[in-house]
Every structure is written in C-alpha cells, then in structure tokens.
Amino acid sequence: MNETSPITDLKGVGEKTARLFERIGVTNIGELLHYFPRGYEKFGEIQPISTVKEGETVVVYGRFQKPLSVQRIRKLQITSGIFSDESGSLRITWFNMPYLRNTLKAGAFYVLRGRMTKKKQLVLEQPAVFSLDDYRKIQGHFRPVYPLTEGLSGKTVEKAVRQALDHVVLSKEFLPIDIRKQYHLAEYNFALEQIHFPDDQEQMMQARHRLVFDEFYLFILALRQLKKEKEKQRQHFGIEKSERMDQIISNLDFSLTGAQKKVWAEIEEDLTGEFLMSRLIQGDVGSGKTILAFLALFLIAENGWQGCLMVPTEVLAVQHFESLQTLMQKQHLPWKTELLTGSMTAREKREAYRRIREGEADIVIGTHAVFQEKVEYKNLALVITDEQHRFGVRQREALSEKGQMPHVMVMSATPIPRTLAVILYGDLDISVVNELPANRLPIKNCVVDTSYRPRAYHFIERQIKEGHQAYIICPMVEESERMEAEDVITYTQNLRQVFPSEIRVEYLHGKMKPSEKNEIMERFLHGEIDVLVSTTVIEVGVNVPNATVMMVENAERFGLAQLHQLRGRVGRGTAQSYCIMCYGKDSRKTKERLEILNQSNDGFYIAGEDLRLRGPGDLFGIRQSGILAFRIGDVFQDAGVLQEANDAVNTTISDKEYPDGEKYQILSGTLRHYMHKDLYNLNL
C-alpha cells in the first residue's frame, strides 16, 4: 500500500464507507492522510466537581447516588442524574440515549468528560463515559477531531488514518535539506503522523508549521510554473476603444469614483492591448466592482465578441443579470444577454446554448453552468469571475478550453494586504478599487447581547415603516439539540409572532432548492419581503440597496472578515444603514473582537486585528469564512509562513544546481493531493 492506493485497500473500508469518504474528497490513502483534523480533544486531568465552570470541558470522577431517570420532552428523550464526588455534585444529561439508564449503575464509579453548560443551573451535557482504567490510558493524549459528513463518524476516520499511518509506505521527504534547515521544518513523515496524533502541543505545532509551509510552498511553485507558461500571450481579438463607452459612463445614474475610473482605464488598456489580460480587481465590499465588469463586457460586445460573467451562486447570477438588463434598457444598448443557471429547464438551456453557439448572445451571465460541456461559444473573448474565491481551478480551466484563450478578469472582495496578494496572485496583475462611492454614509454599528432584542425589533419595525428592509442572519438552518444557536426556521416563526402581521418575514438558507432561493431573493429585491431571515448564503455579492439593517444573531460564531462581508450587504444606497451584532454567549473576548467591527469599516484592518486578537495559539479557531481556503494554512494567521515559503520558492527556482526540468517536478506525482482540487482559485 502506498499513498496512491485506493482507500478500499484499508481493512474495514468497504464500498459503502468509501462513498462516504468520497463526499469529503478522500478517494486514496494520500488524500486520507492529508485530511487534517480541524482540532483536537485533549483528555485532561480529573478535577473536583466543586471546581467546574460554565463553558469548560471538564473531566470528573464520581458516582450516581440514584439510578438515572428518563424523561420525554416533545421529540427529545432526556436521560439525567445527579453525579457526585467528595467535593460536590452535578447534574448530568444526555439526549436520546435512554439505554444509558440500564448501562450506568448507581453506586459504581465512572469518569465523565464533557462540556459544562448553563441552563437553569450548571449542567454537564452529553458527557463521554469511561472506566477509571480506560481513562488513565488515554489521559494526556490529544485525539483528532475531523470535519465530517453525515453517516461518517469521527471514529471511522480516525481508525482509517491510524491504519494508514501504520501500514503505508509514505512518500519520501521532498523538500531540499537546506530549505528544511533554514526554515526549521520538521520532517514530512513525522509531520503527517503528528498532525493526526500529536504527542503533545509542541509537536502538533511543529507538524502544523511544516504542513502549512508545504501547502504554501507547493502552491506558490505551481503559480510560478503557470506564470512561466503563460507569460505574455499575444491576443488576436483586435479590440478597440470606443466612444460609446464614454457615453455609457456619462449616462450612468452616478459618476464613477476616482478609483473606479483608474481601474477602468487599466482594464481598457488590457483589453485593447497587445497581450491577453490576466487581472485581479480587488476592492472592499461596496466599492462598486460590478459596474467595472459590466463596462468590460460592453466593450467586448461593442467589438463584436462574446464575454461571460461567472458568479458563485444562482441568486447572484439572477441579480447581476437583472441589473445588467435594467442598465441596458435605460441606455438603449443593443446587445443581447443570456442567463445560464443550473435550475433552468432542459428546454430553456437548449435554447440558450443555441443562442450562445450561434453568436446571438453577446453577454452570458451565470453560475458554473456557463462552462458545462454542452456550452459552446461562437467567439468568446473575455471571462470574468466575481467573488472568485468560490471557484475551482478546473472550472476555469474548462472555460479557457472553449475556443481560444480569452482575457481573464477576476473580482474579489478578499481583504488581504497587497504584499500577500502579490504572492498569492503571482500570475495576475492587480488593480485595487480603494475608494467607496462618495454618497455613502458610514454604517452605524452596535454590539449587544440578547436582552437588547426587543429594542432591535422595535428599531427594525420603524425602519420598515420608513420603507426600508432588513436582514437578520442566524448561524443555523434548523433547530439542533446539540447546538445553542439561533436557527433560521424557528427564528422566522418567532419573528412573525413579534412583528405586526403587515410586516412580511421570510427565510432563506442554503438547503432550499435554487428555484425557491431565487424566488425569495427576487421578492426581497422587489420590496415584497420586509425582513429576510437568512444563513450566510447572502454573504457574497447580494445587492439590495434599499435594505438598511443587518442584524446578526450569535455574532460570536462568525469570523470578523465574514461579519464584515455580511455587513457589506447594507449601506449600499444613500440612506443611513445599521448593523446590529448580537452575541449569544457573553464573554470579554467576544465583545473585544466584535468591537473591532464597531471601530472600523476597513476590511484589511479588520482581518488583521482579528488575527492579532486571536493570537498565535488559536490555530484551529474561527476561520475567515471561505476566503482563500487552503487546507491547513490560513493566509492571515500564517502570513509569516507564506512569506517564508515565497522566499524558499525563489531559492529553489534560482538554484543553479537544480536542473530546470526538476524544479517543478515536486509538483507532479503523489504530492498533488496537497493541491486541494477545487479550492485553489487560480487558473492552474
């Protein structure tokens, strides 16, 4: 067995389990070993019951004085009892595990490990149960906690990984020894073992450091190779500037900001220049990137070519399509636009494909449906992706293969400093839209606890009476017995009771059918819904300028960069907008973090401060949502390592003793599975 062997070579992994593994992107052993834990459980010291505190994971040793009782509350079966040691006693509950009443005997001693939560009193919820002997064996160890999918248990993954580590012939160390020495990097096989089953915190950190370095190093190396291959390709589209563009710009409802003008000039130069465009347009939420995309598409259409705009969600596709239509109608522009999404009927799609193939469509807007195999373009000259971090490598590749290589423009609101952007987007030129439209009032923020809700609702009601709309974000879709967090469905029901009946409350979440989502968004956009309760599906790109309130429930559960994106959904028009961040769990740290959002509206600053506050110890804490999703590295947190990896790549490439052909060989073979297939956003 080696890293390329199929996962079914492992004992106990049959077809059925293999299918579950496939869902998390694991088909062979190498991928399994690079499926990293998202955190660890530590089996700590046993402590006296009198010292347990709310919110902590605790380990206690004692016994139940009386047999456990089972109670039924609605759909839940709650098993509970009082557990005591010499120092005190504690209430214990389990959900839907009634059989424990027969297995746990009154009077016998057990070790319980779990989290203390506060209901009416302090309760130890859902603890794991051990005998003292068993617990002593694992005490002091870290146990990996893996991200999972339904049907696949942490135990199954853990067992498979352990077996793989014991039996697989791992790849050889691939980094040159000089680099390892210079950057103090642990050995590859050691790192793989320790990331899953660390001996202690120290080893875990070392393992992680090495793997983060690998990930960045290989990524940057791949990028350089790409740049080498793609360097300055000539374009043959013969696109020319047009006065019509200036007319369009002067007839807009607003005048472009200085930054927009500057970036538009850069785009125009690229499109009409000698070489193919590869440009990243970076700009904070609300800086007005969409109009730049539209202008680029117009210039292409004006020159008789086709252009397409690809976005990560259908909701966004429909929205862009509509605002493009509106703009074109207002200005009587002659071009034909086509919407292409997954939820269109087969017949609609066929029709659309025909129009694209025959060149009837000048501008195509859609989700990844725009590059389905069946789509053929007559003369595609420009591909734009919006909020590109949601796009995969192969998707873009597939699109470039439809005809001659088109111009590529990428738009992103990812708040990363320029020094990092230069490394991460090494193959792209970068333009920054570093100015918000002048008519914007800064968003007013407040950070509050749940007792503030009645006032918040009252406030929202008043905003609605003034003709505005509001978003309320909840972290979850449905009620869960395990998690104490607000969910969209229950919240909506409650809110309908709270508000007078003329206020229309609807919900939106990722598990709804695309057509349902579209319908809700459409109605919200047209003012037929007043309050939209939603998960973070609206995080990217949604533009409803009439919405003036963004309320986020359980704000403590979101990364600050993500909250900043969410907040960016309001403050898009001329009216004063508000962001209410409501935290469910009160802690000084939470407040301090959220206060950063209160102080600043600058995405770069916020991401940096979040990082500083979390500190280097919080390795597996809240991630900055979907931005630049590396497998283990975090662009913000590991910015230093990213820089080092970049230096190391420079060393590798300029190394005279390393034959040119071999420099990039590191990238081939089994190490490819570092390159998380669909995460990397560049057109590799």
Site of interaction with Mg ion (CB under 5 A): 541
Nearest-10 crossing angle of helices 258-272, 290-302 = 30
**C-alpha 422: how far from chain center:** 21
If one asks whether residue 676 binds ligand ADP (CB under 6 A), the answer comes out as no
Concatenate the DSSP letters of all residues of 101-157 into one string: HHHSPTT-EEEEEEEEEESSSEEEEEEEEE-HHHHHHHTT-EEEE----TT--HHHH
Name the one range near ligand ADP by CB under 6 A: 103-111, 283-291, 370-378, 627-635: 283-291
If one asks whether residue 414 binds ligand ADP (CB under 6 A), the answer comes out as no
Q: Which is nearer to Mg ion, 388 or 646 (CB)?
A: 388
Backbone angles phi, psi at 366, to 5 degrees: -175, -175
Residue count (the chain): 684
Q: How far apart are CA 655 and CA 128, in angstroms?
A: 54
Whether 261 contacts 252, CB under 8 Å: no
Q: How far apart are CA 156 and CA 171, in angstroms?
A: 24
Least gap, CB of 315 to ligand ADP (angstroms): 13
If one asks whether residue 260 binds ligand ADP (CB under 6 A), the answer comes out as yes
Name the one range near ligand ADP by CB under 6 A: 93-101, 194-202, 256-264, 338-346: 256-264
Q: How far apart are CA 552 and CA 558, in angstroms?
A: 9
Interface residue with ligand ADP, options 196, 396, 572, 663 (CB under 6 A)? 572
Name the one range near ligand ADP by CB under 6 A: 220-228, 251-259, 448-456, 466-474: 251-259
If one asks whether residue 287 binds ligand ADP (CB under 6 A), the answer comes out as yes
Whether 544 contacts 590, CB under 8 Å: no
**C-alpha 594: how far from chain center:** 19
If one asks whether residue 291 binds ligand ADP (CB under 6 A), the answer comes out as yes
Least gap, CB of 552 to ligand ADP (angstroms): 18
Residue nearest to Mg ion (CB): 541
Helix (H, G, I), strand (E, B) or coil at 310: strand
Q: Characterize the bridge pairing of strands 547-552 and 578-583.
A: parallel
Q: Which is nearer to ligand ADP, 290 or 337 (CB)?
A: 290
Other beta carbons within 10 Å of 205: 16
Q: Which is nearer to Mg ion, 235 or 290 (CB)?
A: 290
Least gap, CB of 434 to Mg ion (angstroms): 15
If one asks whether residue 527 binds ligand ADP (CB under 6 A), the answer comes out as no
If one asks whether residue 434 binds ligand ADP (CB under 6 A), the answer comes out as no
Q: Which is nearer to ligand ADP, 160 or 411 (CB)?
A: 411
Q: Which is nearer to ligand ADP, 48 or 442 (CB)?
A: 442
Q: Which is nearer to ligand ADP, 292 or 639 (CB)?
A: 292
Q: How far apart are CA 154 and CA 436, in angstroms?
A: 46
DSSP tag of 480 = -
If one asks whether residue 288 binds ligand ADP (CB under 6 A), the answer comes out as yes
Name the one range near ligand ADP by CB under 6 A: 37-45, 173-181, 254-262, 478-486: 254-262
Least gap, CB of 292 to Mg ion (angstroms): 10
Least gap, CB of 568 to ligand ADP (angstroms): 6
Question: Site for ligand ADP (CB under 6 A): how many residues?
Answer: 18
Least gap, CB of 289 to Mg ion (angstroms): 5
Least gap, CB of 618 to Mg ion (angstroms): 30
Q: How far apart are CA 279 and CA 230, in angstroms?
A: 13
If one asks whether residue 546 binds ligand ADP (CB under 6 A), the answer comes out as no
Least gap, CB of 287 to ligand ADP (angstroms): 4
Q: How far apart are CA 155 and CA 12, in angstroms?
A: 12
Whether 138 contacts 197, CB under 8 Å: no
Q: Which is nearer to Mg ion, 5 or 543 (CB)?
A: 543
Q: How far apart are CA 541 and CA 525, in angstroms?
A: 13
Q: How far apart are CA 276 and CA 582, in angstroms?
A: 47
If one asks whether residue 256 binds ligand ADP (CB under 6 A), the answer comes out as yes
Q: Alpha helix (H) ranges present in 197-303? A: 201-230, 243-250, 258-272, 290-302
Residue nearest to ligand ADP (CB): 288
Residue type for position 411: M
Helices then strands (H, E): number in the chain?
23, 21
Q: Which is nearer to Mg ion, 309 or 639 (CB)?
A: 309
Name the one range near ligand ADP by CB under 6 A: 26-34, 234-242, 289-297, 502-510: 289-297
Whether 489 contacts 478, CB under 8 Å: yes
Q: Which is nearer to ligand ADP, 288 or 475 (CB)?
A: 288
If one asks whether residue 654 binds ligand ADP (CB under 6 A), the answer comes out as no
Q: Which is nearer to ligand ADP, 52 or 436 (CB)?
A: 436
If one asks whether residue 437 binds ligand ADP (CB under 6 A), the answer comes out as yes
Least gap, CB of 286 to ligand ADP (angstroms): 5
Q: Which is nearer to ligand ADP, 287 or 554 (CB)?
A: 287
Q: Please name every residue paired with 114 in a beta bridge, in sequence order, or none if there are none.
A: 58
CA distances from 342 to 110, 312, 364, 514, 677 (A): 54, 12, 14, 8, 22
If one asks whether residue 577 binds ligand ADP (CB under 6 A), the answer comes out as no
CA-based radius of gyration for the chain: 28
Least gap, CB of 543 to Mg ion (angstroms): 7
If one asks whether residue 312 binds ligand ADP (CB under 6 A), the answer comes out as no
For the chain, give the longest Cα–Cα distance. 89
If one asks whether residue 290 binds ligand ADP (CB under 6 A), the answer comes out as yes
Q: Which is nearer to ligand ADP, 257 or 343 (CB)?
A: 257
Q: Which does 559 bind (CB under 5 to 8 A by kind): ligand ADP, Mg ion, none?
A: none
Least gap, CB of 319 to Mg ion (angstroms): 10
Q: How far apart are CA 519 and CA 512, in angstroms?
A: 11
Least gap, CB of 290 to Mg ion (angstroms): 5
Q: Which does 501 bind (CB under 5 to 8 A by kind): Mg ion, ligand ADP, none?
A: none
Other beta carbons within 10 Å of 159: 15
Concatenate the DSSP letters of all residues of 417-442 into one string: -HHHHHHHTTTSEEEEE----TTPPP
Least gap, CB of 276 to Mg ion (angstroms): 24
Other beta carbons within 10 Å of 67: 12
Q: Which is nearer to ligand ADP, 81 or 366 (CB)?
A: 366
Q: How far apart are CA 51 and CA 667, in angstroms?
A: 52
Which residues lie near ligand ADP (CB under 6 A)?
254, 256-257, 260, 283, 285-291, 413, 437, 439, 543, 545, 572
